[in-house]
Homo-oligomer: A and B are copies of this chain.
Amino acid sequence: MNVQLEDNTGKRVAVLNSTLTLIKEHGFHGAPMSLIAKHAGVAAGTIYHYFDSKETLILELYVHVKDKLALAISAGDDPEKPYKDRFFNLMINQFNFYVENEDSLFFLEQYMSSPFAKNFPENDSQLFADKVITLFQYGIDNAYFRNIDSRLLAPTIKGTLVAAATFQLSGQIVFSKEDIIEVISVIWDGIKRQ
């Protein structure tokens, strides 16, 4: 099965979490293997017991984070409810995940705009595809959305949510429940079939 989803107390996960924290604090540059090891309470050599190289460490961290994101996003999804409700629930969950996991948000953004994403597009979370992409596809197939290319929808939506979450995390404002609904309405009004 998927190694990332079990053994959450082991050194493997400690290394992943330390990498995430250090990248958030100092960027890709400021996260040398020696520091990751020290932060994780592990010897430098031990990291190489779990990961072939720093590159694979980053690649596997991406899937690890994206898996967590997928689980958080799809929480409370109820196929019985109207599609708009399901969509809003998904968006709210996504916003909350970003706000509550700043390190994950920062890492995902940096990973996505790095050569990693272009060189290894096949390296992605299966869980995310199953839980999230599926719901989008349902909306497309059933014509809830306006007639734009489906592959434009996801990045469009993500851009807005990330902007809002980043904005709140910068400490300038705390969005109320109503504010978040308003932001998501911007997305919904933009992409829904008019």
Number of chain A residues whose Cβ lies closer than 8 Å to a Cβ of chain B: 38
| Cross-chain contact A30 with B115 (CB below 8 angstroms) | yes
| Cross-chain contact A183 with B115 (CB below 8 angstroms) | no
The answer to whether residues A163 and B167 also contact, given A27-B114, A148-B186 and a CB cut-off of 8 A, is: no
Minimal beta-carbon separation of A10 from chain B (angstroms)? 29
Interface SS majority for chain A: helix
7 closest A-B pairs by beta carbon, nearest first, are A159-B159, A190-B190, A155-B163, A109-B113, A27-B115, A186-B190, A110-B113
Residues from chain B with Cβ under 8 Å of A159 in the complex: 155-156, 158-160, 162-163
Q: Any chain B CB within 8 A of the CB of A182?
A: yes
Minimal beta-carbon separation of A186 from chain B (angstroms)? 4
A159 to B190, CA, bound (A): 13
Residues from chain B with Cβ under 8 Å of A158 in the complex: 159, 163
